[in-house]
Structure 1
């Protein structure tokens, strides 16, 4: 009797596990694709700045990207009503305006791989800002991650060699801080409920883009060279990096655990460094390599969670 009742239960358990695994497979594929899109985009952005100033490129990229996201809202039948204005404005100024302008300026003189790595120190700033703004005290593991990351940053920046490209590094780090402010503000807004990830992304991008556009109009830059390569870079950024990838990200966040989705914060900068090494010849020195390894290890400590 016991055996008879146990066997169907076991089969049901196996079926449930299989079903869950199957339901997550498309989200895992989406995560892999958007990670590839965003990591390779560091190379695309670096090359695009050969034909345009950073502000005009950012404005064009996000004007087109915002159009893609609002078109997606319409196609999915979601409301075009904006989320709460002031939190959304703060997120747009931080996550679109601040992050993009700092990062693009860093790419002008800094390497694509190093800029990607320093910009993706965002998870560490999220921990610190979350502590200050939300009272979320870091755990021992997070403190360890911050300490390891600090050591890695010292090796990457090599302050004993003088300032060097410290300006570019500072801009990339400032981009990471802006991104972190946007993440914390988004978290607070989502806690209030009633706002979808896609709607918030579209509206904050539109608001941030308006500010980027004003800056691009006011700050003199080199004339844009409308080469086929530059147009291709714009298309890549608008349709893939600023459009499709954000749609996939909202899909991933909705269907995968936070620790799995958070792996992108680890893989993207490492893949960006690999692309920069292979395609742009940006070979890290041994000391930089050690620093990169430490920061990657710290990102793993911050992002990886034990199951259950």
Structure 2
């Protein structure tokens, strides 16, 4: 057992499986929700409720919400909330409302490719050759999906999914840069507190958009209410508590399995419950992107282990 792995492997795998299932099934629940609600109204309710519940959960856990630190670092909180929550989930919820949940899940997780490119361009990080190979595989996969989208008249929906991954990647880079370049004497940025507060900021942005963009009213069906409760319950506070437990007590490579499995489960579960079936070319593209995500996660974990060893 390594220094960070402080509980048995079976418990770690159980938590990873739970996290993957919670977030993977949420792609189905989001598709259910947008059947009865316009995308921005749903995203606004989801993150407003989720942020409040997450903040309350952290408080009940005895966590310091670091309000003063977040106020001092307000530009970071504002930008991360705008890109990582408002833009990313605004785009992806719109994509789900006009396309399939499985494809949206896969395109959203191209975030890892954007983070790779932005890390090299803006953070001047060195990237192993294996990660470049994985990124190239992802580009081929995206090309397959774009080709399939062009044949079905669905390019706009594909663009929304890619825009979600892009803006999520921007949010990650802003966070990484803020953690590297804090003010002298400033304590390290508390990522758990940042997650909760940026989610609230993003929810406010989404609420403004939902009020300004003409959308039909919400149809408060039992299915929509269940989807909202799932999003502000298991998919937010429970999932994030599991996630922060994993990253605090496991190696980065093992903890990241929870994220890598999520889009795969999104495809499988949306196929089982919603009957979504990608075409051959689109299916190949989605498979290549999933392979690239796994490759990027494996290469990142390997690089982190080498740095710790040195």
TM over 0.5: yes
Show the counterpart of 2:96: 107
Distance 1:39 1:160 in 2: 23
| 2:7 aligned counterpart, secondary structure | helix
Decide which structure has the larger Cα Rg and report it: 1
Show the counterpart of 1:181: 170
Distance 1:160 1:289 in 2: 12
Show the counterpart of 2:33: 48
Distance 2:265 2:239 in 1: 16
1:232 lines up with 2:226 in the alignment: yes
Show the counterpart of 2:16: 31
1:146 lines up with 2:135 in the alignment: yes
| 2:13 aligned counterpart, secondary structure | helix
- Please report the TM-score for the alignment, with normalisation by the length of structure 1: 0.89
Gaps of 5+ in 1: 1-15
Distance 2:191 2:11 in 1: 19
Show the counterpart of 2:59: 74
Q: Structure 1 residues 295, 80: closer, same or farther in 2, change over 3 A?
A: closer
Deviation of residue 24 (structure 1)? 5.0
Q: Structure 1 residues 20, 130: closer, same or farther in 2, change over 3 A?
A: closer
Give the CA RMSD over aligned residues.
2.1
Distance 1:225 1:160 in 2: 30
Q: Deviations over 1:70-114 (max 9, x none)?
A: 112321223333321111111111111011100011111111101
Deviation of residue 37 (structure 1)? 0.8
Show the counterpart of 2:265: 271
Q: Structure 1 residues 34, 69: closer, same or farther in 2, change over 3 A?
A: same
Show the counterpart of 1:131: 120
Q: Is the 8 A contact 1:24 1:256 kept in 2?
A: no
Deviation of residue 249 (structure 1)? 1.1
Show the counterpart of 2:252: 258
Q: Structure 1 residues 160, 97: closer, same or farther in 2, change over 3 A?
A: closer
What is the number of residues matched between the two proteins?
293
Gaps of 5+ in 2: none
Distance 1:160 1:70 in 2: 40
Q: Is the 8 A contact 1:90 1:182 kept in 2?
A: yes
Q: Is the 8 A contact 2:119 2:173 kept in 1?
A: yes
Q: Is the 8 A contact 1:46 1:112 kept in 2?
A: yes
Q: Is the 8 A contact 2:92 2:160 kept in 1?
A: yes
Distance 2:135 2:145 in 1: 15
Q: Deviations over 1:220-270 (max 9, x none)?
A: 211111111111110000011122111211111111111112223321111
Deviation of residue 63 (structure 1)? 1.2
| 1:22 aligned counterpart, secondary structure | coil
Distance 2:234 2:148 in 1: 37
